[in-house]
Amino acid sequence: MADLVQKLQSNAFNLTDAQRRIAEYVIQNPMDVAFLTVDKLATMVGTSTATIMRFSAAVGYSGFSELQKELQASMKHKAAPQTRLEANLKSTTKSELMHQHVEQQYNNIQSSLDSISAETLQEIIKLIAESDQILCTSVRSGRPVGEYLSLGINRILGNSRYFNADTTDWVEDAVTFHASDLVIAVSYPRYAKRISQLLQVAKAAETKIILITDSYTSPVSKYADYILPCPSPSIGSHNSIVSAILIADYILSALAINYPERTKPRLDKINSILTEMSYHTK
């Protein structure tokens, strides 16, 4: 999307009035343009398909389909699941699904690693270790990440709870949010309003916030003290959590390794109780 906007801006003076109208519509409605037919777009803008084709050439594309393909690549993972699936059905080959899946996840992980500095991760580990209470929250596709982090942190440090932000049960606990607490939120497209509401309350209480989301431009990023961008595109219809789980797993490992004086005694006690219960099979 950023590349397309740059092309539109650099060619603005060469566009006709009708083409400028198309450019404005593209910038304001990228999701629609990414998946509309050229005929439908012409109707929406009030112009002809020929004008749209000339517009595409004027801003540096071989045709509207090439312009649309670039938009789809940047927007499809933020669309509704059925829209993502429709777009992916056009761009995937069934005989190469595994290869395309692995390539997509590799790109997600690499993008996440490129976006998160070692210094930021160190600060986050230190913040988690020093917080009184750690409250993990998420909804829907982000829920496995939030629950995994909460379970892991609580096993290691004993001061983490999980909130499903889709329910209002967190409201009673939110009134006790304190500056010494920490909220770790997971939010993916299409960004649930409940997460924003919870983070607003936490922010007002001066509670520190770590946000795991798909990019720095996420609409909930304005509430966060730390952002961990973990891209979520998949070759199906869902938000992928692979890159987020990698980062979450690293956080748990780093906590255990960096604070053994806290984690080892606790793990020993947990194991002792489980052993007395004959919890594990032999």
Q: Which tops the pLDDT comparison, 95 or 151? A: 151
pLDDT tens for residues 117-136? 999 999 999 999 999 999 99
> Cα–Cα distances in Å, from 260 out to 2, 58, 268?
45, 61, 11
Q: Count of CB atoms within 10 A of residue 8's CB?
A: 22
**Mean pLDDT (whole number) for 159-173:** 85
Element (H, E) at 156: helix 143-157
Residue 178 CA to residue 143 CA, distance in Å, equals 24
pTM over 0.75: no
- In the chain, the largest separation of any two C-alpha atoms, in whole Å, equals 79
Answer yes or no: is pLDDT of 76 > 70: no
- Are 243 and 232 in contact by the 8 Å Cβ rule? The answer is yes
Residue 217: its pLDDT value, please? 76
Task: Please report the domains of the chain, with CATH numbers, ordered by start residue.
Answer: 2-78 (1.10.10.10), 105-276 (3.40.50.10490)
Q: What b/e string do you get for 136-150 counting C-beta neighbours within 10 Å, with b at 16 or more? A: bbbbbbbbebbbbbb
